[in-house]
Homo-oligomer: A and B are copies of this chain.
Amino acid sequence: MSDKMQQIVLASRPDGAPTQDNFRLETADIPTPGEGEILVEVSHMSLDPYMRGRMDDAKSYAAPVPVGGKMEGGSVGRVLASNSPLFKEGDHVFGMFGWATHSTADARMCRKLDPDQAPVTTALGVLGMPGFTGWWGFNEYGRPKEGETLAVAAATGPVGSMVGQLAKAKGLRAVGIAGGADKCKLATEEFGFDACVDHRAHSDFKSLRAAMKEAAPDGIDVYFENVGGPVLEAAISLMNPFGRIPLCGMIAWYNAGGLGADAAQEGLTAPKLWRTILVNFLSVNGFIISNHWDRYPDFVNEVAPMLKDGRVKYKEDITDGLENAPQAFMDLLTGGNHGKAIVKVK
Pick the residue among B262, B277, B291 that contacts A286 (CB under 8 A): B277
Considering the complex of A and B, which 3 residue pairs feature the smallest CB-CB distances, nearest first? A278-B286, A259-B271, A277-B286
Contacts of A264 in B (CB 8 A): 264, 269
Task: Mark the stretch among A107-115, A118-126, A248-256, A332-340 that contacts chain B.
Answer: A248-256
Pick the residue among B256, B280, B286 that contacts A282 (CB under 8 A): B286
CA distance A271 to B247 in the complex (A): 12
Interface residue? A73 (CB, 8 A): no
Interface residue? A60 (CB, 8 A): yes
Asked if A260 meets B256 with Cβ closer than 8 Å, knowing A248-B278, A281-B291, A285-B283, the reply is no
CA distance A233 to B256 in the complex (A): 20
Interface residue? A275 (CB, 8 A): yes
Q: Smallest Cβ distance from A90 to chain B, in angstroms?
A: 38
Contacts of A228 in B (CB 8 A): 271, 274
Which residues of A240-299 are within 8 A (CB) of B? 241, 247-250, 253, 256, 259-260, 262-264, 266-275, 277-288, 291
Identify the closest chain B residue to A249 (Cβ). Answer: B278
Pick the residue among B263, B275, B284 that contacts A269 (CB under 8 A): B263
Ordered by A's residue number, 19 sampled pairs between the chains whose C-beta atoms are within 8 Å are A61-B280, A61-B281, A250-B278, A253-B271, A259-B271, A260-B271, A260-B272, A263-B270, A264-B264, A264-B269, A269-B270, A270-B272, A270-B273, A277-B286, A279-B286, A281-B288, A281-B291, A283-B283, A284-B285
Residue contact B281 to A287, C-beta cutoff 8 Å: yes
Residue contact A275 to B259, C-beta cutoff 8 Å: yes
Identify the closest chain B residue to A259 (Cβ). Answer: B271
A25-48 contact mask (Cβ, 8 Å, vs B): 1 or 0: 000000000000000000000000
Chain A residues in the interface with B (C-beta under 8 A) = 59-61, 228, 232-233, 241, 247-250, 253, 256, 259-260, 262-264, 266-275, 277-288, 291
Q: Smallest Cβ distance from A120 to chain B, in angstroms?
A: 30
Pick the residue among B253, B263, B275, B285 that contacts A250 (CB under 8 A): B275
Identify the closest chain B residue to A264 (Cβ). Answer: B264
Asked if A279 meets B59 with Cβ closer than 8 Å, knowing A259-B269, A263-B270, A272-B270, the reply is yes
Residue contact B269 to A260, C-beta cutoff 8 Å: yes
Identify the closest chain B residue to A277 (Cβ). Answer: B286
Q: Smallest Cβ distance from A334 to chain B, in angstroms?
A: 18
CA distance A278 to B253 in the complex (A): 12
Q: Smallest Cβ distance from A88 to chain B, in angstroms?
A: 37
Contacts of A253 in B (CB 8 A): 271, 274-275
